[in-house]
Amino acid sequence: MPPFIRSDLAQLTAYTSHPESAEQPAQVDQLDTNECPYDLPEHLKEKLAWTYQQQISTNRYPEGSHVELKQAIAAYVRETSTLSCSADAISVGNGSDELIRSLLIATCLGGQGSILVAAPTFSMYGILAQTLGIPVVTAPRHDDFSMDLEAAQAAISAPADAPIRTVFVVHPNSPTGNPLTAAEIAWLKSLPEEILVVVDEAYFEFSQQTLAAEVQHRTNWVILRTFSKAFRLAAHRVGYAIATPELAHVLEKVRLPYNLPAMSLAAAELAMSQRHELLQTIPEAVAERDHLYQALAQFPGLQLWPSAANFIYLRASSAEATAKLAQDLKRQGTSIRHTGGGLRITIGSPAENQRTIAHVQLALEAS
């Protein structure tokens, strides 16, 4: 590394979304990043193309305050929760990844604090914290992947130079698919107001469970959502935070100016206005998830966990067998994510899910 680079960045590796595998066939089912299997409907793509041609001047910066998009998001939040959400309670990011980084900057940067996560969970909290030199404290989970709350509480109570300032949870968790339990929610509610609670609801449209209403009474809670999963806009990188207007305003202070490209802004606005059509794929995803779960549960030697999201988490009989299953699936053209000692398999189209089942069967028969 060049000598002017921070030495603590030496052990970090750059994030790779689809690690290349030499033996992978040309046709691959991409079931490793939890996207929706379906592109935007043709008529909506045409509408976006029209917007690009007729309404976007590429020489001009995009609208930088996101007013209309925030109003549309606030209406969607009101429609799906009891929160009396207004546009000033929303901040929009270049993916929720940007919002995670903004929250870290706003709470922990410069030796001000550490973050707490329970492993396995979404890797970006730890990765982004490390890039900012923010310490990451990891609590364990039980066999059902609920958090070990005693350990989490002990971590928070332990004296430290950089006390825990922010707790990140996913509801339902990735990669394991479990929603927060009543005990976990009660514990999060018990945290003092000098600790920020971040509830990442990236999979809300699949789980239909939200803690958005808590933001009404809790100044130290923020909900994160994304357009990358149910709304089929991963290509456009749009996420949003639901918070108190005070916290949303802080997020506005630390974000980059013009953080959303004009096309992404247009795509997210379109998704909000056409949400009923776009979300018509959700019942199929939920039914396919349950079908895939039932089918995979038939194979001896596989351990599966119930999922409230658009993916399933499983392990084979040992760590070696799990790693081998991941390799065998990739070789057959089913790309899945091997993380946290298990495999996270995205729910794809019915045809993709059939191939997943067939490829798992072949892999297990061969071993």
Ligand X SMILES: *Cc1c(COP(=O)(O)O)cnc(C)c1O
- Nearest to residue 106, comparing CAs of 239, 12, 211, 243? 243
- Per-residue tokens: 185: 């929610």
User: Token match 């949303």: residue?
Assistant: 248
- Nearest to residue 221, comparing CAs of 251, 242, 207, 205? 242
Give CA–CA dist 322/330, Å, rounded. 12
Residue 51 CB, nearest distance to ligand X (Å)?
21
Task: Pick from 122, 145, 204, 206 the residue near ligand X by CB under 6 A.
Answer: 122
- Does position 308 interact with ligand X (CB under 6 A)? The reply is no
Residue nearest to ligand X (CB): 95
Task: Pick from 37, 70, 87, 97 the residue near ligand X by CB under 6 A.
Answer: 97
- Does position 259 interact with ligand X (CB under 6 A)? The reply is no
Give CA–CA dist 180/59, Å, rounded. 46
Give the per-residue contact string, 22-61, with ligand X (x = CB under 6 A; - = no): ------------x---------------------------
Closest to ligand X by CB, 113 vs 120, is 120
Residue 139 CB, nearest distance to ligand X (Å)?
17
Task: Pick from 29, 81, 95, 236 the residue near ligand X by CB under 6 A.
Answer: 95
- Does position 91 interact with ligand X (CB under 6 A)? The reply is no
The DSSP secondary-structure symbol of 213 reads G
Task: Pick from 178, 226, 310, 339 the residue near ligand X by CB under 6 A.
Answer: 226
Residue 35 CB, nearest distance to ligand X (Å)?
8
- Per-residue tokens: 320: 């070696």
* Residues contacting 223, CB < 8 A, separation 6+: 199, 200, 201, 210, 211, 212, 215, 241, 242, 243
Closest to ligand X by CB, 107 vs 228, is 228
Helices (H), the chain: 42-55, 67-80, 95-107, 124-131, 149-157, 182-190, 204-207, 245-254, 262-273, 275-278, 282-297, 319-332, 350-366
- Does position 310 interact with ligand X (CB under 6 A)? The reply is no
Residue 3 CB, nearest distance to ligand X (Å)?
32
Residue 237 CB, nearest distance to ligand X (Å)?
6
Helix, strand, coil abundance in the chain, percent, nearest 5: 45, 15, 40
> Judged by CB under 6 A, which stretch of 1-9, 90-98, 209-217, 316-324 contacts ligand X?
90-98
- Contact residues toward ligand X (CB under 6 A) are 34, 95-97, 122, 170, 174, 200, 202, 226, 228-229, 239
